[in-house]
């Protein structure tokens, strides 16, 4: 297991390097990059000076390596310096946002808590709803509950989150006036009243994302449960005279959850992508909103960094899912 983990970690490095190259080149070679947007009234020699000042006259490879150095050395070491008061990378150029003129990672640090609160809660709620539904659907296969679950899961797959979001706003905040339609980031939870307010403003985005996530996970749980319910060991357990509850909730569920856990792990980077839309609908001031804002403002360093962070998350959680699978299921042998 350890060698497998190490091998996968080592393999992740070239993957990430390639992805970073793709992201860097896509942004760098694109005709719409800011170097192409210098007004025509600027004289050519001034234009050259501007390019030189920004380092844009260097060859692509040099710029890519410098960007990598910023991303993998300067930024982590800066955090290290901040923590321990050392001066390893003091005075070195960090990745600066074109919009705010401050380091990109400062903005990301400011935006992260909102995303994690809203999206994280939504994912948790989604999983907590999905697993029991999946279990019961499988146990009572083809019952009305199962049919209804299948239909709702199909809806969850098919109805795009921006429409569910907008629909919920129309129903709950315009017609019923129960919840606010906009997420207020500056709300600080200090007492019971502000906590209620926080719950209320989180309700709609959490509902939207939870429905979307629950659809997929409940289907996985159902099919995995169905597969296990037909196994011989279930018949053996029943033949021994075990209670139905023990058989289903202990024997079958434990075995069925193995693939579900990996699906849940694989879904975590995906929720950041889904969050782009939901954050936009409910005006949550998180990572997804930061990405959209940066794209509209042509803020390339921010776009590159955020996209690459998403890529890192995907690679990381793929790795975690595979390792979890190996740990949870003793039948899987990687070595």
Partner 1 sequence: MTDAAAASPPKVEKLAPPRSQARDIWDQFKTHKGAMAGLILLCLLIAAILIGPFLWTLDPAYVDSNAAKMMLGRNKPPTWAHPMGTDQLARDMLARMLYGGRISLAVGAVAMLISVFLGTTIGVLAGYFKRLDGVLMRLTDLFLALPLLPLLLVMMMLFGDSVRKVVGPEAGTFLLIVFAIGITSWMSSARIVRGQVLALKEREFVLAARSIGTPNLRLIVRHILPNVISPVMVAATLGIAGAIITESVLSFLGLGFPPDFPTWGRLLFDGVDYMQLYPSRVIIPGLAISLTVLSVNYIGDGLRDALDPRIRGR
Using CB under 8 A as the criterion, what x/- string covers residues 109-138 for binding partner 1? Answer: ------------------------------
Concatenated DSSP letters of 291-332: HHHHHHTT-HHHHHHHHHHHHHHHHHHHHHHHHHHHHH-TT-
Binding residue (CB under 8 A) for partner 1 from 15, 99, 185, 223: 15
**Contact pick of 3, 41, 158, 190 for partner 1 (by CB under 8 A):** 158
Structure-derived torsion over alpha carbons of residues 291, 292, 298, 302, reported in degrees to the nearest 10? -10
Shortest distance, CB of residue 91 to partner 1, whole angstroms? 31
- Report DSSP state, residue 175: I
> Taking a C-beta distance cutoff of 8 angstroms, is the pair 79, 71 a contact?
no
Burial of 257 (0-12, 13-18, 19+ CB in 10 A): buried
Q: What share of the chain is helix, strand, coil (3-state, %, to 5)?
A: 75, 0, 25
The window from 69-77, 82-90, 102-110, 290-298 that contacts partner 1 (CB under 8 A) reads: 290-298
Query: Which residue lies nearer to partner 1 by CB, 255 or 280?
Result: 280
Backbone angles phi, psi at 271, to 5 degrees: -70, -25
Q: Is the dihedral of CA 103, 109, 114, 115 positive or negative?
A: positive
Least distance CB 315 / partner 1 (angstroms) = 5
Q: Residue 67 and residue 308: Cα distance in Å, rounded? A: 12
**Minimum CB–partner distance for residue 108 and partner 1 (Å):** 14
Query: How far from 38 is each of 48, 65, 79, 150, 300, CA to CA, in Å?
Result: 11, 25, 34, 54, 15
Q: Which residues of 273-299 are buried (b: 16+ CB within 10 A; e: fewer)?
A: ebbbbbbbbbebbbbbbbbbbbeeeeb
The Cα–Cα gap between 280 and 260 comes to: 29
Binding segment (CB under 8 A) for partner 1, from list 48-56, 159-167, 183-191, 212-220: 159-167
In this complex, which beta carbon is closest to partner 1, that of residue 162 or of residue 195?
162
Closer residue to partner 1 in complex, CB, 19/95 = 19
| 148 counts as binding partner 1 under rule CB under 8 A | no
Q: How far is the CB of 291 from partner 1 (least distance, A)?
A: 6
**Residue 178 interacting with partner 1 (CB under 8 A):** no
Using CA atoms, how far apart are residues 262 and 265, in angstroms rounded to an integer? 5
Span near partner 1 by CB under 8 A; candidates 68-76, 136-144, 168-176, 322-330: 168-176
With respect to partner 1, which residue has the nearer C-beta, 255 or 305?
Answer: 305
Site string for partner 1, 29-58 (x = CB under 8 A): -xxxx-------------------------
139 near partner 1, rule: CB under 8 A: no
Torsion of CA 43, 48, 52, 55, to 10 degrees: 100
Question: Roughly how many angstroms between the first and final C-alpha of the chain, as a whole number?
Answer: 7
When asked if residue 95 is in the footprint of partner 1 (CB under 8 A), the reply is: no
Among 210, 276, 284, 321, binds partner 1 (CB under 8 A): 276
Residue among 80, 162, 178, 334 that touches partner 1 (CB under 8 A): 162
Near partner 1 by CB under 8 A: residue from 9, 26, 46, 148: 26
Q: Which of 145, 318, 324, 325 binds partner 1 (CB under 8 A)?
A: 318
Q: Contact residues for partner 1 (CB under 8 A)?
A: 15, 18-19, 22-23, 26-27, 30-33, 154-155, 157-160, 162-163, 166-167, 169-170, 174-175, 269, 272-273, 276-277, 280-281, 291-292, 295-296, 298, 303, 306-307, 310-311, 313-315, 318
């Amino acid at each position: 297991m350890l060698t497998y983990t190490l091998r996968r970690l080592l393999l992740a490095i070239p993957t990430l390097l390639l992805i970073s190259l793709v992201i860097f080149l896509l942004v760098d070679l694109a005709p719409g990059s800011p170097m192409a947007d210098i007004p025509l009234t600027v004289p050519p020699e001034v234009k050259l000076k501007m390019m030189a000042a920004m380092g844009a006259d260097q060859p692509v490879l040099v710029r890519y390596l410098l960007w990598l150095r910023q991303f993998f050395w300067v930024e982590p070491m800066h955090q290290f310096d901040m923590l321990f008061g050392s001066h390893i990378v003091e005075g070195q150029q960090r990745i600066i946002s074109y919009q705010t003129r401050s380091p990109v990672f400062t903005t990301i640090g400011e935006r992260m808590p909102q995303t994690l609160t809203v999206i994280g809660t939504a994912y948790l709620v989604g999983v907590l709803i999905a697993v029991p539904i999946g279990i019961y659907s499988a146990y009572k296969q083809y019952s009305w509950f199962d049919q209804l679950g299948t239909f709702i899961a199909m809806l969850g797959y098919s109805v795009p989150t921006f429409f569910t979001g907008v629909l919920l706003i129309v129903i709950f905040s315009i017609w019923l006036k129960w919840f606010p339609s906009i997420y207020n980031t500056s709300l600080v939870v200090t007492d019971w009243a502000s906590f209620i307010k926080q719950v209320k403003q989180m309700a709609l985005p959490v509902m939207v994302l939870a429905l979307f996530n629950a659809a997929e996970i409940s289907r996985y749980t159902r099919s995995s449960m169905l597969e296990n319910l037909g196994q011989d060991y279930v018949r053996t357990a029943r033949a021994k005279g075990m209670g139905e509850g023990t058989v289903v909730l202990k024997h079958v569920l434990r075995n069925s959850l193995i693939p579900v856990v990996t699906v849940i792990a694989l879904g975590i980077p995906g929720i950041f992508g889904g969050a782009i839309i939901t954050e936009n609908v409910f005006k949550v001031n998180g990572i997804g909103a930061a990405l959209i804002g940066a794209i509209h403002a042509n803020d390339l360093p921010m776009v590159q960094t955020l996209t690459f962070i998403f890529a890192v998350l995907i690679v990381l959680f793929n790795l975690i899912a595979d390792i979890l699978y190996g740990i949870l299921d003793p039948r899987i042998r990687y070595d």
